[in-house]
Amino acid sequence: MSFSNSSKQIQLVDEHILSCNADGDNPQTLDLNGFIGNSNGTLVWGGSDFSKHAQWGYTTLIFTPGQTMLQARLKTSDGTYAPASQLNLDSRIGNDHGNLVVNDS
């Protein structure tokens, strides 16, 4: 089950830690740096440490019906910042009985 549909109080802490109440009042966190990387200015699954390449203050969550998007401006290989990139967190993050889990595909 996608975490957005089953969680409350979804927020981004320190521009890389996903925090929410996934099971009642029990807060859960997930460090997105362990699963999301930067590919020449684009957010990608399977990498790591995306926030080390992000322009501070430009990383946010965007909520749309049924999904939560991570948006960030990341450095490209030439050191400039690319336009904002988005990644659908619900495509890989789920809620397993109140625990946030990342699926490989």
- The dihedral sign for the CA sequence 47, 44, 59, 20: negative
Q: What is the model's pTM?
A: 0.93
What is the CA 96 to chain-centroid distance, rounded? 17
What is the CA 46 to chain-centroid distance, rounded? 12
Write phi, then psi, for 52 (nearest 5 degrees): -70, -15
Write phi, then psi, for 74 (nearest 5 degrees): -115, 155
pLDDT tens digits, the chain, 105 residues: what are they?
Answer: 688 988 889 999 999 999 999 877 778 999 999 999 999 999 999 999 999 999 999 999 999 888 999 999 999 999 999 999 999 999 999 988 888 999 986
Q: Quick one: residue 97, left, alpha or beta (phi over 0 = left, psi -120 to 50 = alpha)?
A: left
CB 71 within 8 A of CB 81: no
